[in-house]
Chains A and B, each alone.
Chain A
Amino acid sequence: MNLLSHSVLLAGLPMAEEGATAPVVAPDMGAGGVFDLLWLVIALPLLGAVLLLGVTPFLPPSLRASVDKHGHLLGTALAALSFVLSLVLFVALLGRDAEARQVGQQLWTWFETGSLTVGMDLLYDPLAALFLLLITGVGSLIHVYAIGYMEHDPRRRRFFGYLNLFVAAMLTLILSANFVGLFLGWEGVGLASYLLIGFWQHKPSAAAAAKKAFVINRVGDIGLSLAIALMFATFGTTDFGAVSELAGEADQGTLNALGLLLLLGACGKSAQVPLQAWLLDAMEGPTPVSALIHAATMVTAGVYLVVRSNFIYELTPVAQTAVVVVATVTLLWGAILGCAKDDIKKALAGSTMSQIGYMMLAAGLGPAGYPYAIFHLLTHGFFKANMFLGAGSVMHGMDDDVDMRHYGALRKAMPVTFLTFAMGYLAIIGFPGFSGFWSKDRIIETALAENLVVGLLALLGAGITAFYMTRLMLMTFFTTKRWEPGVHPHESPRVMTVPLVVLAALSVLGGVLLLGDWIKTWLEPVTGTVEHHEPPLPALVITLIITAVVAIGVAAAWFLVGKRDIPREAPRDVSFATRAARADLYGDAINDAVVVRPGAGLVGGLTAFDRRGVDGAVEGGSLAVGGLSSTLRRVQNGFVRSYALSLLGGALLVVLALLAVNLR
């Protein structure tokens, strides 16, 4: 039965470009066995959020105090359970044949109106499986880390409730079988991100950063919601399977619009230019949040969206080109920001932006790039979470100072943090053998094969990455002590270092996913296959070139940063380029000039029009009536004879009128 529908589907499918087989999405509904527990993956962290946030405030005070004390253990345990379940599901999926690796679960009908039916459906396929492992795995580690990091925060219970809420929303985003469910998760992670960036809401800067992230994300969400509306209008459904079947019949304009609108949504969530300005400010949140949401998982949702919508992007070269352009600009933009920031978290955030740019670039290159986008997403999830948590550990030891100019020579004081951070560092710059080496290498190689200019820019980005990461590394762990007086750096407790060690191991070993092109074969049912163009040079030569560029970046950082004295205050007399990079390449100024000020002007104009125009018309009308009536009132003077005169005049007029009518 399933096979039959498969072949029917295949026959009806529009063939994309030559050599490409469009992916078939025909999920096996109600596969039974362990797959019936799919919903539990979302339900477990959701339960944690409900218990910690919704139920606890209504408990009697004594019970509430004990939940406040131990609630974080519940949150962590539920996240870990979710991870175990994801692992079981993954193994079960591995056990199936490649064609049968699409499992669906229909939970209930979400809403039904007229011909529209939107179901609460889940789809578990190779792509979702990898994401599930990343989110619940890295998520659980960060939960554990946060137990130590948030130990002295009086609102720790609430923090873990928010973290669980985030995990549940992110899993909804990944597991939904249609765009509406995806949108639900999409908004959910936006909400959790807002709550967690502004977690220390007593700081005005944190509150402002949360608001900024929320507002800029709304701009992207408009794109996604319009895309969903367009899908409803064009296809009458938003199920991934149905849309991928019907997409071939839509006209080119609709497909272009869909692709570009989805890209707008992806830009908002993944902090891609031009909606990039919120990510650096988002570092106001607690460090575990930066690691989980703003490095490893949520910000990669845009990449997921593009890869998941591959059936649309395959048919619209315009949108694909737009993805590549946005990605290339962002990967350089983020890298440049990373070079100038002295705040360790902001430097890492710039680097996150840049790395997501790489993923987007790969996603924009079509079926040849999708597996590498996801591969880099996974390895980046490991090494960037590792480095963010390492930065958190450093901050923990340095009394929450984030200025790298006050660090220096920390490798002796914090050996575990240093060693794990070093693994992440080697992974991100692409040191041969480490996870980032494999993933970035493949992306640049694919980019070079598709488009020389984009490939060379990506190569340049790799060099800049090596530069700023080496600078960060040198300023933090090497060079001389520049500590604030009274600061005594110390290694963090075990509960924080164990997750670091695990993530460091993953950063080193993440490359095994590429063994025998495993990830490519694994994702084939989702992304389709295509014979990719041969790169202009042999792969080995490209790898050597990339490694050479990285080495140049490292050497430049050594000579410009490592060999010199680092002033404790950021130098003022710097070149224009440095000033621009410190000011986020004027991202805020551009937003201000392009959006905020015209918007304020428009609102001011509308208000003025309302005051003068609308209110003027209404008030002027009443004033005119009032003036006229006060003039007319004079007639009512109370003198009988004047009334008699007007009576006579009126009578004369009537008579004259009658005469005129009769005589005519």
Chain B
Amino acid sequence: MTQYIVLSAILFTIGCVGVLTRRNAIVVFMCVELMLNACNLAFVAFARQHGNLDGQITAFFVMVVAAAEVVIGLAIIMTIFRTRRSASVDDASLLKY
């Protein structure tokens, strides 16, 4: 049991650091996914431990949200890349241009 939680924490931390340090929007995105999945792992592990299905259902919800987020997020990144030939999050620091 502890191993799952530790793995989940490690994955979450990697994702977190990635979001904070990387500039490439695609990588930041992947790190966000990593954090979400770390959460999913924790949810499923706790559901197993408590013997009910709440955590598993929540994990499904998270997946659905993540999928929707990927669709929207990738579209935005694509559009930004098309206009300014860069996928760096620091370049898009202004809401105009």
Q: Which residues in A have some Cβ–Cβ distance to B below 8 Å?
A: 637-641, 644-645, 648
Contacts and interface: CB of A to CB of B under 8 A. Distances in A.
Tell me whether chain A's interface is mostly helix, strand or loop, or mixed: helix
Contacts of B21: 641
B94 interface: yes
A638 B20 contact: no
B16 A641 contact: no
A641 B89 CA distance: 8
B93 A639 contact: yes
B93 A637 contact: yes
Given A639-B89, A641-B20, A648-B16, 18 more contacts: A637-B93, A638-B92, A638-B93, A638-B95, A639-B90, A639-B93, A640-B89, A640-B90, A640-B92, A640-B93, A641-B19, A641-B21, A641-B23, A641-B90, A644-B19, A644-B20, A645-B20, A648-B20
B38 interface: no
B89 to A, nearest CB: 4
Interface string B61-97: 0000000000000000000000000000110111100
Interface in B37-79: none
Contacts of A648: 16, 20
Interface of B: 16, 19-21, 23, 28, 89-90, 92-95
A640 B24 CA distance: 11
A640 B90 CA distance: 7
22 contacts: A637-B93, A638-B92, A638-B93, A638-B94, A638-B95, A639-B90, A639-B93, A640-B28, A640-B89, A640-B90, A640-B92, A640-B93, A641-B19, A641-B20, A641-B21, A641-B23, A641-B89, A641-B90, A644-B20, A645-B20, A648-B16, A648-B20
Nearest to B23: A641
Contacts of B95: 638
B21 to A, nearest CB: 8
Contacts of A638: 92-95
A638 B20 CA distance: 14
A640 B88 CA distance: 10
Q: Please give me the 10 A-B residue pairs with the lowest Cβ-Cβ distance, nearest first.
A: A638-B93, A640-B89, A639-B93, A644-B19, A638-B94, A641-B20, A644-B20, A645-B20, A639-B90, A641-B89
A638 B93 CA distance: 4
A660 to B, nearest CB: 20
Nearest to A641: B20
Nearest to A640: B89
A641 B21 CA distance: 7
A639 B23 CA distance: 10
A648 B35 CA distance: 12
A641 B24 CA distance: 11
Contacts of A644: 19-20
Contacts of B93: 637-640
Contacts of A639: 89-90, 93
Contacts of B20: 641, 644-645, 648
B93 to A, nearest CB: 3
A637 B93 CA distance: 7
Interface hub of B20, B21, B28, B92 (most chain A Cβ within 10 A): B20
A637 B92 CA distance: 11
B85 to A, nearest CB: 18
A638 to B, nearest CB: 3
A637 B28 CA distance: 19
A637 B90 CA distance: 10
A644 B23 CA distance: 12
Contacts of B28: 640
